Structure 1
Amino acid sequence: MGLTSNVFLGLVIGLALVFFAATIWLWPRLARRSVRAVLGRVGLLLVTQVMVFSSVGLLANNSFLFYGSWADLLGQKQDLGVVTDHAAGTLAAKNIVRVGMQLPDVPGASRPAKSGRIDKVVISGRRSGIESSAYVYLPPEYFQPAFARRKFPAVVVLTGYPGIPENLLKGLGYPRTAHERVKAGRAQPMILVMLRPTLAPPRDTECVDIKGGPQTETFLAEDLPNVVSDGYRVGRLAHNWGIMGNSTGGYCALKIGLHHPDRFAASVGLSAYYKAAEDPTTGDLFQGDQQARNRADLMWTLDHLPKQPDSSFLVTTSRHGEGNYRSTQQFISKVKSPAQVSSIVLDSGGHNFNTWRREIPSALDWMSSRLSEN
């Protein structure tokens, strides 16, 4: 029974209610001062509390998807089985391998031409030497004869730290939202490449190239677009590509968009921060290299670029509930032409999935307006 299964959640809640009722019912019988009665009271209280706390923990995990499976919770290695397709026109075996497929959670999902498709893939970066799993959402139009020769714009979508890619499918519902925005005529069909920025778990690399360590920026900015363009009908020019994410993923999206305008025309930071974190989860990212540290500071970069890139940036924050309100306003003030900046500012909203779900539809519409297929 899966960790995020509703059946398992219902079972645990049901057991919590049963033990709570049993405690109330049996308490008078256990009111004596004998050792057996005392042990009975302690046992009932302990089991009831464990079940209540388990119920609360499971509810929180199902809402925010901190852990997607028992293996993820227990920190066990999860090896991916590799399937190689040999038919003509399939994915490039060396750089991108499809290891699973599923239909998106959209109304009337029956076949890809109606609902689109989500491929689970393993991407191998030649320059970075990094291998990462990802989910690729293909819109219904990708499978329709009328669009058979069309190349689609693509958006890299990043989780926060230490999120898992499943957060983007289940907790934040990117494929479903993208499908709805196209149906509503608010956005064009786009391919979404969804993964976590933590490419050397459990280390948080803050999407930088670490000397003698993981080359995360190279993977995201160079390897990933090249590999995906090899395997799917996606263009290779900057206006074919966007990048977005929440929290750490938002910082990464803005940083990579700022430093690689030749790869990405548009970047979205949902509840982003603007300077690389340096703490026990990151380790020594810069190894005393102040130039590298400055480069990872987006405010410093905007102040010191000879000319800002001809790129578009969207940042989001809340007047109440977010800790990045002032820094976001500062970032907005530093963006100068030819760069363009837009913002979503909520009256209130915390650093959580509920807030990001309120921002994602408009963010996808904005992204769609900045990208083109040709």
Structure 2
Amino acid sequence: MRSVMIMAKRGPGLRARALLLVLVSLLAAVPAIGLILSTGGRAEAHGTPMKPGSRTFLCWQDGLTDTGEIKPVNPACKNAQQVSGTTPFYNWFSVLRSDGAGRTRGFVPDGQLCSGGNTNFTGFNAARSDWPLTHLTAGASVDFSYNAWAAHPGWFYVYVTKDGFDPTRTLTWNDIEDRPFLSVDHPPLKGSPGTVEANYSWNGRLPAGKSGRHIIYMVWQRSDSQETFYSCSDVVFDGGNGEVTGIHEPGNPTEPVPGACTATRRTTGTWSGGYQSEVTVTDSGDVPMLGWMVDWTLPSGQKVDSLWNGAATYNGQAVMVHNAGWNGSLSPGQSATFGYVVSGTGGDGATGLPCRVG
């Protein structure tokens, strides 16, 4: 077991990241029941809580090795790997449901809250008392950090388990307080999306009167699509200040990159006033991925009339396409395609498009 402060001992390549994580290690907090923080700006990310760290984020850290492989040491993280494999560890920011639409009770089944009902993360639903643990003080005002991985606006809803919660019993909705103790409206983004350092942060007060073991349950609902993220953060209210225990500390690990992808576009048909294109997305990394995003800017005067095999969001001429529910999971070397029809004069000579895992 160790404190998050130990991360600063890792190799030079990790020092900047470690310092950031230390700065946000005083966990975020959450005002009283029903309080809404409206900070303006746009929330822009795929991601998961870093403070208090979610199970997927802390288990990913626990599994870091010198070679970049995932080999968790924490017993609960190791069990999650045995159940679901290593892919979820590389995709720690992707506990999502593309059809979530912000739904919770009656949508995510009991016993599957920590995976959000996403079968790729089933191993993280296990009812155990040995998950990595964040130590907190009830009623304290602290900083909260949520990793930002891609550009999506939205809201964050933060719940906590009821008094008497037992981490060794299957987590159900009856274990969760009926109302979120924090609702955050499009918090500000710090850092560059697509990195571990990027995060949304806000300050608030943790619920008073809590003691012992609990789960802080977070729901992130995008405002530009139905996609919704779910996470469990294991905490103990014992007077702590955000210290994390239960994570293995490798000697000097090389932080693994959560996969890589490439996207190439080709025109498949043209006519007066429009054209049709196909984009091929390939897992060009060394690890499997559970989702991808492709973004580009259309030439002036053009617009997408229809798109298939993907979910698109538009902002003027900017287009972002996220994988559909059935074509996001790719092994190294595997590819998926989506197509679209554009109206407007002229074509598009772009061949390579920006692609991100997420």
TM bucket (normalised to shorter chain) is under 0.3
Using CA pairs under 8 Å that are at least 6 residues apart, name the structure with larger relative contact order, 1 or 2. Answer: 2
- The TM-score normalised by the length of structure 2 is 0.24
Q: Which has the higher helix share?
A: 1
Specify the structure having the higher radius of gyration (Cα). 1
